[in-house]
Structures are given as C-alpha cells and as structure tokens.
Homo-oligomer: A and B are copies of this chain.
Amino acid sequence: MTARTGPQAIATQEVPLLGRFTQQRALVLEAFIEAEEAEGFVSAQSLHTRLAAADAPVGLSTVYRTLSALAEAGRADVIRDMHGERLFRYRPGSDHRHYLICTQCGVSVALDAVAVEKWAAGVARTSGFTAVQHTVELTGICPDCGPSAGGSSGG
C-alpha cells in the first residue's frame, strides 16, 4: 500500500485534518501513531518527553494543542487515568471505541462493545435523558503481566 517516507507522508496521507502543515505537527503525529501501535494510550507529557528523547523536541504546548485538535476532530480517543491525567489514543477510523487497558504495561485492546452500545441506547430511551453519551473503560492485568507470566509482582 503506502510507502512511508517520513512524518510528512503519514501526516499528509492519513491525517489531513489539521489546519496548517508543520514539522512539529508531523513529529507529534508520528510519535502518537507509533505509541498507538506500541502501547495504546499515551499522555501529552510522555509524548513530549519521548519526542525530546528522540532528538525531535517539540514544545509541550504544541503537543497539547495538536492532541486536543486531534481529539476534537475525532481522530483520537481521550480518557482520564486515576490520577486525573488525560490519555490519548490515535484512532485511524472515526467510530466510537472502547478499550481494555493493562494497568501494568499500559497496553490496550479495542473491544467489541455492541452490547454496551445497545444498553446505553436503551438507557437513553427509558430515562428520558437526551444527548446521552457514554464512557466505558475496562482495566485489568494482561496475560503478559499476569501472575503466571513469570511475573515477580506479588498480588
């Protein structure tokens, strides 16, 4: 399919949603997509740190602004961890998704949540509420991090 030649290729081909194309946005986007493939959700802070470590420093504000724009455009899912930090995950498609996230390593798995969607729709109908939106987050410990994975974490 597409031969990626660098940040620009990714940005221009896959996410033509942002206003003006800049080197910084391409960098953030690239790191964001890589993070999605590797571990799922990431925070703006960690993305910022990662970029700096990768010798591609981008201002923290810019990371926030890019990620927020992405979320606004529906190209990213946003959740909050127990600490209150916002975590972003790149979303290739544009449909609503739910995830199961490992609390140990951060890896996330997209879920087939038809049952939840139906339930939520039913609640919306019977409650009299309008503009009902739902947030569903599952967390747990993935097989790789589990107690029987040669793990050393007591629990």
Closest CB pairs A-B (n = 6): A132-B140, A129-B140, A128-B143, A115-B119, A135-B137, A134-B138
Contact with B along A140-155 (1 / 0, CB 8 A): 1111001100000111
- Contact, CB under 8 Å: A140 / B131: yes
A65 within 8 A of B: no
A124 within 8 A of B: yes
Q: What is the interface size of chain A, counting residues whose CB is below 8 A from a CB of the partner?
A: 40
- Contact, CB under 8 Å: B155 / A129: no
Interface on chain A toward B: helix, strand, loop, or mixed SS? Answer: mixed
A17 within 8 A of B: no
Q: Hey, which chain B residues are within 8 Å of A124, CB to CB?
A: 138, 140
- Contact, CB under 8 Å: A130 / B154: yes
Q: Hey, which chain B residues are within 8 Å of A147, CB to CB?
A: 130
- Contact, CB under 8 Å: B154 / A141: no
> In the assembly, what is the distance between CA of A102 and CA of B128, in Å?
11
A127 within 8 A of B: yes
Specify which of A116, A118, A124, A130 lies most central, judged by the most chain B CB atoms within 10 Å of its CB: A130
Q: Hey, which chain B residues are within 8 Å of A130, CB to CB?
A: 140-141, 146-147, 154
Q: Hey, which chain B residues are within 8 Å of A120, CB to CB?
A: 138
- Contact, CB under 8 Å: A132 / B138: yes
| A119: nearest chain-B partner, CB-CB | B115
| A103: nearest chain-B partner, CB-CB | B131
A61 within 8 A of B: no
- Contact, CB under 8 Å: A138 / B153: no
